[in-house]
Structure 1
């Protein structure tokens, strides 16, 4: 065992691993450790290893966020707090409405939530309800979180699959004693004074808010936590119950989102599915369908005539939810009981119900269906028949074909009503086998049910009936009102209400885990060390099942605003695993080797779907002198394809971007566009999608192979003075056989430039060359094993702790420098590789090279002050298609953005604590981008966030 002084130093160095934790170490805490005898020091398990140690040391870089950090932020959702950390990118959040899942994802390094393993007390969290199996952070009770440990650089050999980017471990306060009731509330406020966007809206005569807003998007809740010993101190139980509610906000509540910007962010654009409809209209060709060689793009005059359409778009932004309404209720308990040192059973139970609503702009016909209309139809005016005769030579008895773009403003917005119900139960026991060996075995069951009702979307068959074509008369159908789309403002609320439908689906996720391991010290030491070798031997069985049940409306894609069908899905897999770890002290108490420890790990995983795959790690932890540490690790991580990637049915969907062969001035040459399927007659005559949305075919692949990742980290940890600690860690993640899709714009670009059939065969244009009008034009982007990805960067943490006027004062820094974020879409094509670090484009989520958080705390006893500075570095425009894209943002990129958060704590009495704070006190706005780019969720979305809380403790 280590001496007492070494224990204290180990504790101090361990705290340096996370700057957030550095402030948690007080002099009294370290002194208490020093006063304990070595024999009484408890062995504990830290994130990154199942070996229980007395020294708390690990070779893996770990960032710690304390419960106090969460409370100071004022954020009621745990995922929002984690998304402010430089190592984490926002995944699905409450700010997602179009395609909302209702889940709160955690995405380390931007590699995807499905490559981030989420644990609770070191055990895998249950799936959040999607086919990817990724966890839902919504079900984490924030009031009971003691700390959050974020370990970067892989962890598959210790915890199993999905730990490619790293591990997030929520450590719960299962030793809590007493009763605590927290009342929390907050809301957003903003001064709408963006002259640039207001000027663009003035040009279009759009409405928008101006001046200082009220406090909007209010959130409030109650968290109750209670804990106590029982059975004369042999047992301890903690229980919690929470209720939280969040009000919605629409895009129209902020001037900078009150209009849909065009692709170049220079004008308020919108959708061709307008209030006054637009029509692609042509005579029938020889095959009896739309003639893309002889058509016109028209809209209506006020007297219901036809005229060429130009600039007739609908500003769909104001209706969309900027932030979804959400109501959540959860409760649970953590119980442990010590029968004796050898048998200490425990139980964890968690339940959550979450209800939310994702609202987006009104439905429409979306040019999805080809309608054939009789020249003599009563829906047409005499002026329209005359136009058809003059333009196409049509006469009585003829038919014409049309694609219609009409927004259902008369029927109201579309919405997705989502409910999550999830629970997690862990039953297990731990204990000592002897003085140096212990065991832990458990059974874990988790389940999540998601119901989704999609309402108020246009029901395709009813539109066809209401247009009364081809002998199918609206008059012969009950409850049918003709769709007066050819009459200027002729559609009524009553008729629109009869044209919508409802789609429903349910998702069921089930997880079962059996786990057992033993850990202890072997009866030998290395020649240069005094501490024995410690090992772990374990086994785990895990079974994951998922089923999505859909109604006929979803399955056949009968709602026009869905972008395609959503099919049923059922699948699952099981995996049997054996694993081991070893901590081998090589040297101790030597010159320039106060401590040198080798860590080894190996896991053998046998999947019933993809076969067996090993994962392993090797790491070194070297302390040359007191207070300095060098750490290095290599991990082989494997991620087996998840259920959705393997078993999802293939079907139509939408992607946002642009077709470089569209418009009358294509950015690709005629020869390049010919590679993508454009004929000479079509070149320069293909309409671009007004909303920047195109068709794609997506789905699973049961023949996928696992992803293989190699992760490397090299770091230095030190204490410059008694007050200043720091750590610097270089990390690199390389993934081969990446499971994903070739992005649509890469497919278009590579096909155009190379003519490679591997790309060109996935482009399917309709008879007019379009990739969006109707459903016959699309790009195939189903799951395959791609080439590779390479991420690398540097994490920096630092902590300064001192006293100011006799009171504790601390400043911490957490910073990440993203050096490389490199995508290789397909092997053997180095020209297709692109790097997203520090850039934004149609391919790249905005990735600042630098992201930093500086935190200052001053504790004056009853009063505590906190100031936080969050910094996102600048982002430049990506140029991966050989053209200049500097005009795709307002300016030449996204400048560095800095947010200042201030908060104060006041302890009223022994039982009452209050907090008040303002995040983004300077009211910084998110960057504005065109409709082909995503400004990202690194940036505060809604302006200032004002929050407060009252805690009652007994």
Structure 2
């Protein structure tokens, strides 16, 4: 569909591109009061509303301008259209003539200059190589690919690559830390090193031991190229480059003024053919308040982006200053708007005719949580063990009659979760460099980002695993059915019973984790030539990321226990907490979950608590290296055109990580957390030296248009009492100019982070089964006897009804680095008959030894039992 009056082409282009999906025509009116044409680009299949088109036309620009208005059509993960509109401006005119753009015209072509051999820095090596690439397997995302993708989030750009997974992205709600991370080859983000212009990006968050880099700190509008290197690169860049490296090359030499505005949303037509809607209808027949059907169409997840870029060249092009600022606002996308997530899908999908639960073949079924409303109750002893004949019950009707709990009584927690978190981000920064002479070029980078997001999941409550809860049999809120079932029919104030309670706090708001990160990054350096052979690059960098976290609407376990232990006030005759009468907690308000509509706002205000965590992580780095072309001294093979190049250097790096959770986090009193959050205070310092060499072996020989060998080594000494050695070897061979075969072998390391080293030990949820519980225990009588189980108890112990067990967790100061051996072989073909086409096939093998990872609950128990360690 053609929208409005269209111009013939973009500035600098002539005619229609071959195969272009964009329809164009000539604009009859002048733009911005002069004869500069406007450009409105729209895919032929774009379906943009008249309102959205009017919004684009309403944009007012400066007097002298060139414009490109784009309507980009994208798809979400299910192929549904995502409409995105963009307005891109490049200002020009007399006032900006210094930028090389004439009034009302496209930028003229530069005057011809003599051809030069460009020295380019490639990811995977510190050695500048004339018109070559590193032997390491590198995939480059080009500016054209970035522009055509329509993506505004860096993680979305990377996620299109098969070797990349965007971990901790905007779609993570349960367990989010507010960052966006990159995970190469599924080996976890902590094993992927992120660089900006070849230098380390600081940690993205102080939680989890100074987590991996946050891609939110990288302005997408400044990206010139993204290099993704697979395999170990620790000998070049240091620790953490186990799975590989992602290097963002930013535009630090922009000249002119550029403004971009983008707007997008998710548009989805609900018509799931696999039984979700039918199952929702069946559930709603039982209780329509739990599983509300999704609307027929969903338009959500709106995203607005603004970016401003301005650059100035110094006289005679001896330097440049580039300034930028961006703003992004993202609206949430709730699961309740989509038919495939309006209920929490169960495991009922089956290929048989009809499953055991009655679900037809090829159809899904709805599921949910047993922590529900009006609640699930089980009578236990004070240790949480089932009493004889006890079973899960819930009450129905206004009189509170207890009936057995069924699957249809489960709570639908899915709709309140976010598919996309709301997010607001500001970034600003500057890049500057100035060349005094061949021997000195000063450069600096300053970046700032403030990002705030909210991760939301279903409401908290009283969970089986946080009990048991004491209930007085004289509680006036109990129904006759409850007194009969739990108290033997006698409302005796001297009698207390214990219950496991699964009661969702539906009267309160969903749990919302408000995460705000503020980060600064500063780089100052100097580079240049020492003489005709040697060059140098020395820099210092400082990065700090600060976290302000407030977790809202969780429920206090200790307060719930007080609020359920209720009797009649002897003075007022009204329900009152025992803790009020005893004076241990005069603020207590009864939480009446034993009657319909019994929960009051005062009770919610009492049991709900916020949790607060603050922290920061700093990275300090001083690095210097020097590259020499020893071919000038004659260190060169007679079969090659150029000689040996080497790079030597040293590096000092320090990471400081602190977090200060509040008392609620520290004590683990919040029911919806599962474990305490403990503070971290640690410092890791490394001193490193490295060397790298590249030797051309053959050039322009029969069967070898080019062949080269490279190697590298790094020694790192850590303040924790250990040292590491990393190295690499690589060989490339081009039998033809169009064909390139390469192979590499490397050793990489990852040093333990602050959490893995310094996290204090604590008790928290860890396991789901007891191998000595049940009628037929997993462990033998002898193994269980070692844990304290007697012969008469064996086979009679009930498992935890909540299927939750605690374990002791924490860091280990004696940890040593994990190491990896990475091998890769690849072949690349760039046929001359198809310019721009490159076919690349890579094989890789990454083997990690001494992996730093928490040993699971079941594994620990099995090892202790089999080796007699109890």
CA distance in 2: counterparts of 1:86 and 1:694, whole angstroms: 38
Distance 1:669 1:252, change over 3 A: farther
Contact 1:467 1:483 in 2 (8 A): yes
CA distance in 1: counterparts of 2:296 and 2:391, whole angstroms: 46
SS in 2 for 1:646: helix
Q: 1:572 aligns with which of 683, 687, 696?
A: 683
CA distance in 2: counterparts of 1:283 and 1:658, whole angstroms: 20
Distance 1:727 1:665, change over 3 A: farther
- Higher radius of gyration, 1 or 2: 2
Contact 1:79 1:137 in 2 (8 A): yes
Instruction: Answer with 658-667 or 568-577: which moved more.
Output: 658-667
Q: 1:296 aligns with which of 391, 403, 412?
A: 391
CA distance in 2: counterparts of 1:757 and 1:200, whole angstroms: 49
CA distance in 2: counterparts of 1:613 and 1:560, whole angstroms: 43
Does residue 203 in structure 1 map to residue 275 in structure 2? no
Q: Which residue of 2 aligns with 1:591?
A: 702
SS in 1 for 2:392: strand
Q: Which residue of 1 aligns with 2:845?
A: 732
Q: Which residue of 2 aligns with 1:380?
A: 478
Matches within 5 A, 1:346-365: 346-365=443-462
Q: 2:129 aligns with which of 53, 64, 78?
A: 53
Matches within 5 A, 1:430-469: 430-468=527-565
Distance 1:736 1:72, change over 3 A: same
Superposed CA deviations along residues 552-572 of structure 1, whole A, max 9, x for unmatched, are 110001111111110111111
- Deviation, 1:257, is 1.1
CA distance in 1: counterparts of 2:858 and 2:346, whole angstroms: 18
CA distance in 1: counterparts of 2:553 and 2:838, whole angstroms: 57
Contact 2:431 2:445 in 1 (8 A): yes
SS in 1 for 2:160: coil
Instruction: Answer with 549-558 or 588-597: which moved more.
Output: 588-597
SS in 2 for 1:236: strand
Q: 1:647 aligns with which of 745, 758, 768?
A: 758
CA distance in 2: counterparts of 1:67 and 1:671, whole angstroms: 66
Contact 2:772 2:784 in 1 (8 A): no
Does residue 399 in structure 1 map to residue 509 in structure 2? no
Instruction: Answer with 182-191 or 646-655: which moved more.
Output: 646-655
CA distance in 1: counterparts of 2:786 and 2:416, whole angstroms: 36
Matches within 5 A, 1:32-47: 40-47=116-123
SS in 1 for 2:482: helix
- Deviation, 1:719, is 3.5
Distance 1:693 1:55, change over 3 A: farther
Q: 2:622 aligns with which of 510, 514, 519?
A: 514
Q: Which residue of 2 aligns with 1:224?
A: 308
Contact 1:661 1:684 in 2 (8 A): no
SS in 2 for 1:296: coil
CA distance in 2: counterparts of 1:323 and 1:83, whole angstroms: 16
SS in 2 for 1:385: helix
- Deviation, 1:305, is 3.6
Distance 1:293 1:341, change over 3 A: farther
Q: Which residue of 1 aligns with 2:327?
A: 243
CA distance in 2: counterparts of 1:404 and 1:516, whole angstroms: 61
Q: 1:742 aligns with which of 847, 855, 859?
A: 855
Q: Which residue of 2 aligns with 1:756?
A: 866
- Deviation, 1:687, is 6.3
- Deviation, 1:362, is 0.7
Contact 2:566 2:590 in 1 (8 A): no
CA distance in 2: counterparts of 1:86 and 1:52, whole angstroms: 28
Q: Which residue of 2 aligns with 1:943?
A: none
Contact 2:261 2:305 in 1 (8 A): yes
TM-score, normalised on structure 2? 0.77
Q: Which residue of 2 aligns with 1:272?
A: 370
TM-score, normalised on structure 1? 0.71
- Deviation, 1:489, is 3.6
Q: Which residue of 2 aligns with 1:308?
A: 404
CA distance in 2: counterparts of 1:252 and 1:654, whole angstroms: 29
Superposed CA deviations along residues 43-92 of structure 1, whole A, max 9, x for unmatched, are 22110100112132321111111233223222221012211210101210
SS in 1 for 2:458: strand
CA distance in 2: counterparts of 1:330 and 1:184, whole angstroms: 16
Contact 2:280 2:293 in 1 (8 A): no
- Deviation, 1:171, is 0.3
- Deviation, 1:395, is 5.7
Q: Which residue of 2 aligns with 1:82?
A: 158
Does residue 556 in structure 1 map to residue 667 in structure 2? yes
The size of the alignment, in residue pairs, is 717
Distance 1:513 1:696, change over 3 A: same
Superposed CA deviations along residues 420-443 of structure 1, whole A, max 9, x for unmatched, are 100100000101111232100000
CA distance in 1: counterparts of 2:276 and 2:737, whole angstroms: 58
Q: Which residue of 2 aligns with 1:704?
A: 815
SS in 1 for 2:558: helix
Matches within 5 A, 1:100-115: 100-115=176-191
CA distance in 2: counterparts of 1:309 and 1:687, whole angstroms: 17
- Deviation, 1:485, is 2.0
Contact 1:64 1:147 in 2 (8 A): yes
- Deviation, 1:418, is 0.8
Q: Which residue of 1 aligns with 2:174?
A: 98
- Deviation, 1:217, is 0.8
Does residue 259 in structure 1 map to residue 357 in structure 2? no
Contact 1:510 1:546 in 2 (8 A): yes
Contact 1:708 1:737 in 2 (8 A): yes
CA distance in 2: counterparts of 1:581 and 1:444, whole angstroms: 22
SS in 2 for 1:494: helix
Distance 1:396 1:350, change over 3 A: closer
SS in 1 for 2:668: coil
CA distance in 1: counterparts of 2:485 and 2:312, whole angstroms: 83
SS in 2 for 1:409: coil
Does residue 505 in structure 1 map to residue 584 in structure 2? no
Does residue 168 in structure 1 map to residue 168 in structure 2? no
SS in 1 for 2:439: coil
Matches within 5 A, 1:519-918: 519-522=627-630, 523=633, 524-654=635-765, 659=769, 686=799, 689=802, 697-723=808-834, 725-744=838-857, 756-757=866-867
Q: Which residue of 2 aligns with 1:945?
A: none
SS in 2 for 1:377: coil
Matches within 5 A, 1:129-168: 129-130=205-206, 131-168=209-246
Does residue 366 in structure 1 map to residue 445 in structure 2? no
Contact 1:454 1:503 in 2 (8 A): yes
- Deviation, 1:379, is 3.5
- Deviation, 1:281, is 1.1
- Deviation, 1:721, is 4.7
Contact 2:298 2:337 in 1 (8 A): no
Distance 1:37 1:435, change over 3 A: farther
Q: Which residue of 2 aligns with 1:181?
A: 259
Contact 2:210 2:657 in 1 (8 A): no
Superposed CA deviations along residues 508-539 of structure 1, whole A, max 9, x for unmatched, are 00010000000021111124323110000100
Contact 1:89 1:106 in 2 (8 A): yes
Contact 1:466 1:474 in 2 (8 A): no
Contact 1:547 1:571 in 2 (8 A): yes
CA distance in 2: counterparts of 1:726 and 1:654, whole angstroms: 49
Contact 1:283 1:399 in 2 (8 A): no
Distance 1:247 1:725, change over 3 A: closer
- Deviation, 1:298, is 2.2
CA distance in 1: counterparts of 2:376 and 2:566, whole angstroms: 19
Which structure has more relative contact order (CA 8 Å, sep 6+)? It is 1
- Deviation, 1:143, is 0.5
